[in-house]
Amino acid sequence: MDDSTVLRGTELRYALTMYLAQHGPCDIATLIAGLADQGFVVGGYPPKSVSDALRWERGHFRVMRRGRGTYDYWEMPRSTEYRIHKRVLALRAQADRIRSEAGRSNSTPGPA
């Protein structure tokens, strides 16, 4: 796995917040699986990393906790939402590019 698809820090927080905004309330396992479907890997111990990232987002009132291990999108200013959305789209494009390049380099040429 290429290191450029590993999410940490701000990138992880933004990807999680955008996922919650698009999909509604989710538990931590669903969030990790959802990011994996998008081509991302959560750095460190994934449940702890996700929990820590969402705690930070809760402090800025972008995410709320619905119960033990379940989070939901709250609200944010449009300008912040635009910035986060733009950055997550760029991360997804980068992950797609890496996955497509990996698919080409692993394929063996057929008979000539």
DSSP 22: H
Cβ proximity of 83 and 47 under 8 Å: no
Q: Please give the tally of structural domains in the chain.
A: 1
Q: Residues 24-35: pLDDT tens digits?
A: 999 999 999 999
Cβ atoms within 10 Å of 48's Cβ, excluding its own? 11
CATH classification at residue 7: 1.10.10.10
Domain that holds residue 68: 3-96
pLDDT over 50 (residue 1): no
The average confidence (pLDDT) of the chain is: 87
**Model pLDDT, residue 33:** 95
Higher pLDDT among residues 72 and 108, named by residue: 72
In a domain, 51, yes or no: yes
Q: Residues 47-84: pLDDT tens digits?
A: 999 999 999 999 999 999 999 989 999 989 999 999 99
Distance CA 75, CA 68 (A): 20
Distance CA 33, CA 31 (A): 5
**Model pLDDT, residue 3:** 47
In a domain, 110, yes or no: no
